């Protein structure tokens, strides 16, 4: 599989990004920029062509592009983030998806939806009901994706659904059963091991902070690429939220 990877470079205010369920820690912005470059190189090495959303240096959470758009085939659902200060991030992403020739629709007020609460696997779209994603937002997304099966998910103690669970290429859900009420979860060895980006075929991207989970996945036949995103983990980020993959 190949396609486009939407990404946005981190800005100088990255350390001011919103944190909800962890204590704030200092962030080395220079190191974060180098880690982002390495992350993008890993995506490119797996066949995903990077397309950069314009910089947003005044928006600390700007590199977390996943929260701004949900892509289903060639439809881009532009979100309405639950944190009002993050809503300005959406417009520059909207411009890029239009330039890519995608059809776009929007989550409308009063609904809120963060892309990090949306987990797609096969015909199913799991959506976490969180502090950032409202019931109205889920209802709107369901109406916008009539060909998909949208499943609301109860969750606790995490910022987004994909902070707790993601999907492996074979459809297996990997995550923390203490945080989400989903059957048949494969439990990772580390918390960050719940964050997997399928890269196509048997390839997956995983944070370097989850070496035991990487070994477990390799034993299951997956090819694991590990990237260091420690500066983003300090502000509640993970490998999924730094890109949006759009398959050809």
Counting the structural domains of the chain, the total is 1
| Cα dist from 152 to 32, 180, 193, whole Å | 33, 11, 23
Looking at residue 1, its pLDDT comes to: 66
Binned at pLDDT 50, 70 and 90, residue 25 comes out as: confident
Looking at residue 4, its pLDDT comes to: 98
Percent of the residues in the chain that have a pLDDT greater than 90, as a whole number:
94
Percent of the residues in the chain that have a pLDDT greater than 70, as a whole number:
99
Looking at residue 23, its pLDDT comes to: 76
Question: Mind telling me the catalytic residues?
Answer: 160, 241
Say if residue 10's pLDDT is above 70.
Answer: yes
The pLDDT tens digits for 130-171 are 999 999 999 999 999 999 999 999 999 999 999 999 999 999
Residue range(s) defining the domain that contains residue 109: 3-247
Rounded CA-CA distance 197/174 in Å is 11
Is 207 or 1 the better-scoring residue by pLDDT?
Answer: 207
CATH classification of the domain holding 140: 3.75.10.10
């Amino acid at each position: 599989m190949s396609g486009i990877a939407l990404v946005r470079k981190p800005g100088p205010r990255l350390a001011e990004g919103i944190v909800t369920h962890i204590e704030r820690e200092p962030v080395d912005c220079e190191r974060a920029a180098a880690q982002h470059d390495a992350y993008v190189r890993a995506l490119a090495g797996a066949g995903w062509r990077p397309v950069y959303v314009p910089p947003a240096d005044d928006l600390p959470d700007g590199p977390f592009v996943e929260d701004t758009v949900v892509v289903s085939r060639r439809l881009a659902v532009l979100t309405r983030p639950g944190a009002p200060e993050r809503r300005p991030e959406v417009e520059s992403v909207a411009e890029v998806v239009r330039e890519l020739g995608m059809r776009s629709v929007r989550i409308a007020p009063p609904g809120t939806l963060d892309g990090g609460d949306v987990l797609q696997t096969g015909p199913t779209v799991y959506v976490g009901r969180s502090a950032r994603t409202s019931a109205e937002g889920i209802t709107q997304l369901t109406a916008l994706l009539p060909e998909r099966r949208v499943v609301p998910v109860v969750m606790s103690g995490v910022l987004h659904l994909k902070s707790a669970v993601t999907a492996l290429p074979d459809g297996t859900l990997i995550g923390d059963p203490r945080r989400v009420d989903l059957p048949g979860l494969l439990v990772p060895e580390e918390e960050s091991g719940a964050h997997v980006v399928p890269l196509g075929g048997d390839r997956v991207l995983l944070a370097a902070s989850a070496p035991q989970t990487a070994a477990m996945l390799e034993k299951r036949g997956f090819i694991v690429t590990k990237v260091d995103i420690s500066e983003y983990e300090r502000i509640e980020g993970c490998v999924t939220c730094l890109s949006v993959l759009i398959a050809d």
